[in-house]
Amino acid sequence: MRQAIRISVKGLALIFLVTSGLWSHCYAGVTLTGTRIVFLEGQQEKIVRTSNKGERPALVQVWVDEGQSTVEGTELETPFMAIPPLFRMEPGKGQSIRVRYLGQDLPTDRESVFWFNLLEIPPDGGGEAPSERLSLAFKTRIKLFYRPASLTESSADQGAKIQWKLGQNGELVVANPTPYYLSFYSVGLSAGGRTQELALSMLKPFSEQKIILPSAVRNKIFNKINFELINDYGNGIQYQGQYREGKGFTVSKK
C-alpha cells in the first residue's frame, strides 16, 4: 500500500501545473519486492529487497510497527528491527534490508501481524529554491505476519473454514474460527444473477465481523458468495459458497 504523505506547495500557479499534467512526474522511485512478509517461528531474520527505479538518489527510512501509521519508526518498540534503518539509494541500484526478530514472546496459538514501512524521502531539488518545487515523500506499507511453528498451513488455505451467515438486521456475519489472519482481495454476494461487492480486507484469528449490506439489497435473498484470499506470495486463491437454508453457506475452493 503506497501513499504520498507529505506535500509542500506554494502558490495557486504551482497547484495548477500539478493538476494539469506535471503530477505524472511525481512518483515513488523506490519499490519493494513482494507484498507481504511471513516470519516463521525459529527464523532469525528475513531479507526484503528494494530497488530505486527513479532518476535521482533517494534517502530511505524503514521500520516495523503494529499499525500506528502516524508514528515515526524512531518512536516505536516492536519485536522486529529493520536494518539498516536509514540509507541512501542511487538510481538503478538496489538495497537488501534485514528484518530481524528480537526474540520477544509472541502468541504461540495464533498468528501475529505487524507492518513493515518504507519511507522514501525526496532529493533536495538540485539547487531549486524550496518555494518553487513540489516535494513529496512516499510511504509504502506491507503486512508482516509472525506464524508459530504449530501452524503448518497457509492462511489462504483456510477459506472453506470461514463461516458466513445472514443476520436478522440486514447484515452479513463472517467468522474466522482459524488461528490465521485472513486477507481478502474481494468478496461478492450474489442474488438473482446480480452480485454485490462487499468491503472486507482482513479478519483476525478467532474473530467475527458484521458487514452492513446496502439498503438497496438488504431484503434480497442471496444464494451465492465468491471471495478471494491472498496467500503468502501475494497471489489470490478463489472460493465459492452456496447458501442452504438452515445451514448457511457451504464453501469450497474454485
pLDDT in tens, 29-48: 888 888 999 999 999 999 99
Domain boundary among 131, 147, 163: 147
97 and 210 part of one domain: no
In terms of pTM, does the model score above 0.85? no
16 and 90 part of one domain: yes
Give the residue with greater pLDDT, 187 vs 69. 187
191 and 142 part of one domain: no
Domain boundary among 91, 126, 147: 147
- CATH number assigned to the domain comprising residue 104: 2.60.40.10
Local confidence band at 129 (pLDDT 50, 70, 90 cut-offs) = low
Structural domain harbouring 206? 155-253
65 and 189 part of one domain: no
Q: Assess contact for 173 and 93: CB atoms under 8 A.
A: no
143 and 190 part of one domain: no
Question: Which helix (H) or strand (E) covers residue 12, if one does?
Answer: helix 12-19
For residue 57, report the phi and psi dihedrals to the nearest 5 degrees.
-65, 155
105 and 13 part of one domain: yes
176 and 246 part of one domain: yes
- Total number of domains in the chain: 2
User: What share of the chain has pLDDT > 70, as a percent?
Assistant: 77
pLDDT tens column, 58-113 = 899 999 999 876 555 555 678 999 999 999 999 989 999 999 999 889 999 999 99
CA 155 to chain centre: 15
3-state class (DSSP) for residue 101: strand
pLDDT tens column, 150-169 = 999 999 999 999 998 877 77
